[in-house]
Amino acid sequence: MNPIEQFKQDVEQSIDALGEDMDLQAFSRIWLRQIALRKYSHNFRWMGRPIIQVPQDMVAMQELIWEIKPDLIIETGIAHGGSLIMNASMLAFLDMCDAIESGATLNPRESKRKVLGIDIDIRAYNREAIEAHPMASRIQMIQGSSIAPEIVEQVQQVAKGYECILVCLDSNHTHAHVLAELQAYASLTSVRSYCVVFDTIIEDMPADMFPDRPWGPGDSPKTAVWEYLKSHPEFEIDQGIQHKLLITVAPDGYLKRVS
């Protein structure tokens, strides 16, 4: 076997072993619980904008975007804009790679690749910073509830102009809201692409961890995913991603569209 194939096979075996390592998985859950108490996911920035994610999931997004090469990323939940900027910057890399391959001149303002963000409350200072960012030309924002019919309609209209779509859900984390988002947006996910549901980890946290939130174990993004998958065999949980990450806020949340 050539060394590249050998390395790939070794990595796959090691990821399978992580999936069976209940001790490591338990340690990872404990670690995630303790860092959540310290708001660890607020500590990071992407090209200067605060991003509310753990670094492992950022790397997973990079791997997915490189593999899928989407022309549209739909995201619910903007906050400070870090994830919008991160995803837009990865689309910029894809454009740069296309230009290198084809020898064409790179003009970011003519790029079709775009990130569409939806948030019920885009604070003025966040909007200003996102619109002033070098990645801004690749970003479109819509303000409103992600499950309001008029917002869903606007997103569907935008999506019509694109061929390869990746979806990320990271807004209100109640079961009912995430299930409604899945019903509204998951079908826009292209075959072989992903619908990533963040904060499914809430289901694995202690019941008293979210006293001031409407969500918690039993009423979380993960319960919404499980409910949605009962009648949507076109999606499968990509277990390999959560096994390799170990530290992820999206266990059972990396949904691959298989048909």
Ligand X SMILES: C[S@@+](CC[C@H](N)C(=O)[O-])C[C@H]1O[C@@H](n2cnc3c(N)ncnc32)[C@H](O)[C@@H]1O
Q: Cα–Cα distance between 195 and 131 in angstroms, integer?
A: 26
For residue 197, the tally of other CB atoms under 10 A from its CB is 27
For residue 96, the tally of other CB atoms under 10 A from its CB is 13
Span near ligand X by CB under 6 A; candidates 18-26, 115-123, 220-228, 247-255: 115-123
Minimum distance of ligand X from residue 211's CB (angstroms): 18
DSSP three-state, residue 70: coil
Q: Cα–Cα distance between 15 and 18 in angstroms, integer?
A: 5
Minimum distance of ligand X from residue 142's CB (angstroms): 9
For residue 229, the tally of other CB atoms under 10 A from its CB is 17
Minimum distance of ligand X from residue 173's CB (angstroms): 8
Instruction: Using alpha carbons, select from 206, 194, 250 the residue that is nearest to residue 224.
Output: 250
Q: Does residue 172 belong to the site contacting ligand X (CB under 6 A)?
A: yes
Q: Cα–Cα distance between 40 and 145 in angstroms, integer?
A: 27
Q: Cα–Cα distance between 42 and 156 in angstroms, integer?
A: 31
Taking the least distance from each CB to ligand X, the nearer of 169 and 246 is: 169
Q: Cα–Cα distance between 110 and 103 in angstroms, integer?
A: 16
Strand partners, 19: none
Minimum distance of ligand X from residue 83's CB (angstroms): 3
Cβ pair 83, 170 in contact under 8 A: yes
Pick from 53, 89, 189, 248 the residue near ligand X by CB under 6 A: 53
Residues 129-168 that bind ligand X (CB under 6 A): 145-146
Pick from 36, 54, 78, 139 the residue near ligand X by CB under 6 A: 78
At residue 214's C-alpha, the angle toward residues 210 and 218, to 5°, is: 80
Span near ligand X by CB under 6 A; candidates 3-11, 51-59, 217-225, 227-235: 51-59
Pick from 82, 221, 251, 253 the residue near ligand X by CB under 6 A: 82
Q: Does residue 76 belong to the site contacting ligand X (CB under 6 A)?
A: yes
Residues in binding contact with ligand X, number by CB under 6 A: 19
Taking the least distance from each CB to ligand X, the nearer of 78 and 167 is: 78
Taking the least distance from each CB to ligand X, the nearer of 155 and 165 is: 155
Taking the least distance from each CB to ligand X, the nearer of 12 and 128 is: 128
Q: Does residue 120 belong to the site contacting ligand X (CB under 6 A)?
A: yes
Q: Which residues bind ligand X (CB under 6 A)?
A: 51-53, 76-80, 82-83, 118-121, 145-146, 170-172
